[in-house]
Amino acid sequence: MAHVENPFGQVMVALITPFTNDGEVDWPAVERHVDAVTSAGADGIVVTGTTGETSTLTDAEKLRLVEVAKSVAGNRAKVITGGGSNETAHAIELYKASEKAGADGIMIVTPYYNKPTQAGILTHFRMISDSTDLPVILYDIPGRTGVPIAYETILRLAKHPNVVAIKDAKGDFSQASRVLNQTDLLYFSGDDANVLPHLAIGASGLIGVTANIAAAPYRQIVDAVNVGDLASATAVHKKLEPLVRAIMTHVPGTIAAKYVLHGLGRINSPRVRLPLVGPEEWEASQIEDDLALVGDLPGLDLSNFRPDRNAAAGGALPKIAGTTR
């Protein structure tokens, strides 16, 4: 895969949102974490996405996350705002405000819970894309939204001048190949286990959860694929596999990523917001067993990992009154 010029970057981190023990956003930890992942090679930061616990963030928190990430990343990485809403009008309001806050792009998730038809999905994406001058990433994650973006809908959306990319968390490689063959969309892997396979068929990069912990190895994989060195990319992929399993298979990725980052001393608290809760004892054991299998990776020293299951237990409510709107 030749290097693909795009407005987002290639190694994009689906950023966690660090919280204090009582559930408030830990803003100094946000700044440190953005600096850490960009210093490790990430050239794109996706805030307020699934991994960032967008469903339990207030609008004010979402906009400040854009501002803080932009101020820390500077020219080192693009800042993309994710999440949105399953209400089209609210999503338009959020993305307009995010553009004013300094976002470099927006990632629009398929409307969740209300299970729209493909016509509804098409209209939702089109209306949001009409409302912004920013480049748009479509976010296809049917395991969470309940509905996929059909191939025919993707083809129609690809004709919109602001729709330039798609994040694939569906894992349908046949559809991915068809979209790559029949559109000019940039393709981003949204499934950590499939990053290298997606790159091998022409994807432009990744938006990864595990990259919160190991951005440098993903930088190595992408750089190797860019110069056609599949053997080197595969070697790093194999070393990463147990870490990806630790983060992505036992509990939701946000929970595992925070558990590991806290154990490495990179965030002050592993807490997540209710209804998410930290790993139970047996889940924490599975995460730790997989971590023990991780090979030597650049920028990652797991010998410093000190898990704290007591700190991770349970979930937290933010000290914020009112609704999340």
For 26-76, what is each residue's pLDDT tens digit?
A: 999 999 999 999 999 999 999 999 999 999 999 999 999 999 999 999 999
> Looking at 62, 70, 78, 167, which residue is catalytic?
167
From the list 144, 203, 186, the residue with the least C-alpha distance to 169 is 144
Give 122's Cβ-side CA count (13 Å radius).
14
Which of 59, 48, 114 lies closest to 83 in space, CA to CA? 48
N-term to C-term CA, the chain: 42
Q: pTM, whole model, 2 decimals?
A: 0.95
Q: Which residues face 273 on adjacent strands?
A: 316
The whole-angstrom separation of Cα 293 and Cα 267 is 23
Across the chain, what does the average pLDDT equal? 95
Angle at the Cα of 74 from the Cα atoms of 68 and 78, rounded to 5 degrees: 85
Pair 2, 179: CB distance under 8 Å: no
pLDDT band of residue 3 (cuts 50, 70, 90) is: very low
Active site (annotated) includes residue 167: yes
Q: State both tokens at 118.
A: 């493909």
The 10s digit of each residue's pLDDT in 238-286 is 999 999 999 999 999 999 999 999 999 999 999 999 999 999 999 999 9
The one catalytic residue among 139, 187, 218, 259: 139
Whether 139 sits among the annotated catalytic residues: the reply is: yes
**Cα-based distances in Å from 239 to 6, 233, 242, 291:** 28, 10, 7, 11
